[in-house]
Amino acid sequence: MLTAQFIFVMSTHMPEVKSAFLPGKGHLFVACNIMIVIAMVLAEMWLRTAAQYHKQAVVCCGFIVSYLMYFVLEPFVDGAQMTLMMPIMISLIYFDRKLLHYLGGFSILFYAAVYFGLERIVLEKPLLEFFLVECVFIVFVVMSHMVIIRAHEVRDHLEQLTKSEQELMVERAISDKLLKIDALTGLYNHKTFHEYLDSLLEQCESNGLRLQLALFDIDNFKRVNDTYGHWVGDLVLKEVAARVRGMIGLNDFAARYGGEEFAVIFTDKSFQEANAAVEELRSAISLMEHPYAGGKPITVSIGLCAYQLGNGKELLFRKTDNALYAAKHGGKNMVVTASPSPEEGTVYA
């Protein structure tokens, strides 16, 4: 604005404009411009240093600058009253309807005071011009009000879209979980178990990840179903699964592998630690009380095998299953570990 004023003054041949830079001449041209710069600098300093009242600083600066600009331009530029709309437009920066109404009402009253106290007396401006400017104020307020309403509508629409998207994400996560979780026990299902194991075995081969696989089977589970009914059998499965889920580590993975067969993958333990963990698990399950099953203990047989590089998934399962078979036929309620030797079928308790 200052550059435009300078070019205008230097390029025009109007004497009254040429005299604008002279002391005591023009419409306090230089003084108003200096005050505009001071107001802008003070507002900028406030915004950069103070932690509060930023909106008030912008509004006050806009109001002061708009009227100073008006006094600078008014003698030379038709329609200089448009600069007085600046405070009203500031409310659009914040999309604040209350601020808009305050600024609009204050601007209408303030301009009326300027007109009747200064312009009508000194400049002899007609009353019709005053009414036109006030009407423009009102039009600006109404238009700004509509813009703010529309902005709020768009915001609400975006919030609804975001909320709907979040709900879809939650539903998708729930659906994905339902596809991965066994409905009865709450453990991962057979399909998810194999997907996870395949991924971990790749990590074993490429990064040397430690991994142990445990397969365990509830002893005499068919007798429980036949004696007490399938609903009791389901309760037993739920309680055993809950105990397994509560005793494994955060980096371990438990799944329901078959009817009464479960699988646990250990990824953050040594073989000795994994062996101690499954032994603790076996003991804890054997100590559980089942009053609905005649008060008789429910036990599990467990086979455990550590993955050896290059063995592959099939050999890992064969050795673990052989260990489980040895536990079932060696007296049940026991842990049998697969031999670390490369001989596939060798196991020891």
pLDDT in tens, 201-230: 998 988 888 999 999 999 988 888 888 888
What gap in Å lies between CA 68 and CA 65, rounded to an integer?
5
User: Other CB atoms closer than 10 Å to residue 335's CB: what's the count?
Assistant: 23
For the segment 258-273, the average pLDDT, to the nearest whole number, is: 90
Q: What angle do CA 269, 272, 273 make, to 5 degrees?
A: 40
Among residues of the chain, what percentage have pLDDT more than 90?
29
What distance in Å separates the CA atoms of residue 25 and residue 34, rounded to the nearest whole number?
16
User: Predicted confidence band at 346 (pLDDT cuts at 50, 70, 90)?
Assistant: very low
Q: What number is the average pLDDT over the span 102-115?
A: 89
DSSP class of 146:
H
pLDDT of residue 345 exceeding 60, the answer is no
Structure confidence at residue 20 (pLDDT): 52
Nearest to 337 by CA among 253, 272, 249: 272
Q: Is the pLDDT of residue 43 over 80?
A: yes
**Alpha helices for 12-85 (secondary structure H):** 15-18, 29-49, 54-73
Say yes or no to pLDDT of 262 above 90: yes
pLDDT at 347: 47
- pLDDT by residue (tens digit) across 54-99? 888 888 888 888 888 887 777 666 777 788 888 888 888 888 888 8
| CA separation for the pair 208, 173 (Å, rounded) | 31
Annotate 152-210 with DSSP letters as a single string.
HHHHHHHHHHHHHHHHHHHHHHHHHHHHHB-TTTSSB-HHHHHHHHHHHHHHHHHH---
Q: How many CA atoms lie within 13 A of 103 on its CB side?
A: 31
- For 294-312, the pLDDT digits (tens) are 778 889 999 999 999 888 8
Bridge partner list, 253? 265
Average pLDDT, the chain: 84
- Looking at residue 340, its pLDDT comes to 58
CATH class, domain 190-348, is alpha beta
For 192, list phi and psi in degrees, rounded to 5.
-65, -35
Give the global pTM.
0.53
Residue type, 286: S
The β-bridge relationship of strands 300-306 and 261-266 is: unpaired
**Reported confidence tier of residue 344, pLDDT bands at 50, 70, 90:** very low
Average pLDDT over residues 189-212: 90
Higher pLDDT, 339 or 183: 183
Tens of pLDDT, residues 142-165: 999 999 899 889 989 999 988 888
pLDDT of residue 5: 72
Give residue limits of the domains in the chain.
2-158, 190-348
* pLDDT confidence of residue 124: 82
